[in-house]
Chain A
Amino acid sequence: DQQVKQNSPSLSVQEGRISILNCDYTNSMFDYFLWYKKYPAEGPTFLISISSIKDKNEDGRFTVFLNKSAKHLSLHIVPSQPGDSAVYFCAASTGYSSASKIIFGSGTRLSIRP
């Protein structure tokens, strides 16, 4: 039962352009959505989150958009830089105050080409 889906295993974007990574979910009980970034031989690192009561959250070059009616979220990276090349995971959960697991998608490998 894949509650969080990332349907694009890979994405290649030219340096300086916008990278858009997509994620779909099925469980309307999720309160929070998070994006993690993973380099080889390292654990995932937290990037940005969004509450289900919002439709946009921005942090520097990273913006996450949430469309609850479509059960869809996206991560925009502008401008894309070589260091952004990594695997990006979408994750979902209820909030910290409710004891719950965090469910991850299968990841999208982003490659930034010069």
Chain B
Amino acid sequence: DTGVSQDPRHKITKRGQNVTFRCDPISEHNRLYWYRQTLGQGPEFLTYFQNEAQLEKSRLLSDRFSAERPKGSFSTLEIQRTEQGDSAMYLCASSSPGASGANVLTFGAGSRLTVL
């Protein structure tokens, strides 16, 4: 297993266009998370799935954002009608329990979105 994969690594788009990011988690992890990170800030939680069920969504996730995880494997995050404020690094992570019982996230390298 090569870890968490994200595609594309970098997306440049014009305001108003739709973009979709894909995440392939570690195969034995049943939890998958999406975070957004802007310059100088830590990762901000967007949403997460347990298998195919979306269990929680942040208030940050406006109705222009939608995430899916069909069949509980890979996930997609779509942003419709992009705005310049959507420019950020979108991070995907999957998780398994740590030895201590902690929820240890394994992150992908991220997909950087630039909205012109």
Contact = CB atoms under 8 A, between A and B. Distances in A.
Contacts of A46: 98, 104-106
A51 B109 contact: no
Interface in B10-63: 31, 33, 35, 40-45, 48, 50, 55-56, 58
B97 A43 contact: no
A106 interface: yes
B101 A97 contact: yes
A97 to B, nearest CB: 7
A41 B109 CA distance: 7
B43 A104 contact: yes
B107 A44 contact: yes
A51 to B, nearest CB: 5
A82 interface: no
Interface of B is mostly: strand
Interface residues of A, number: 33
A77 interface: no
Contacts, number: 86
A79 interface: no
B4 interface: yes
Contacts of A80: none
Given A49-B98, A89-B43, A96-B97, A102 B103 contact: yes
A23 B110 CA distance: 25
A90 B56 CA distance: 21
Nearest to A43: B107
Main SS of the interface on chain A? loop
B45 A96 contact: no
A105 B33 contact: no
Of listed B31, B45, B104, residue having the most chain A CB within 10 A: B104
Contacts of A94: 103
A95 B93 contact: no
Interface in A87-114: 89, 91, 93-97, 99-107
Contacts of A9: 40
Contact of B41 (A31, A91, A95, A107): A107
Interface of A: 4, 6, 9, 31-32, 34, 36, 41-46, 49-51, 57, 89, 91, 93-97, 99-107
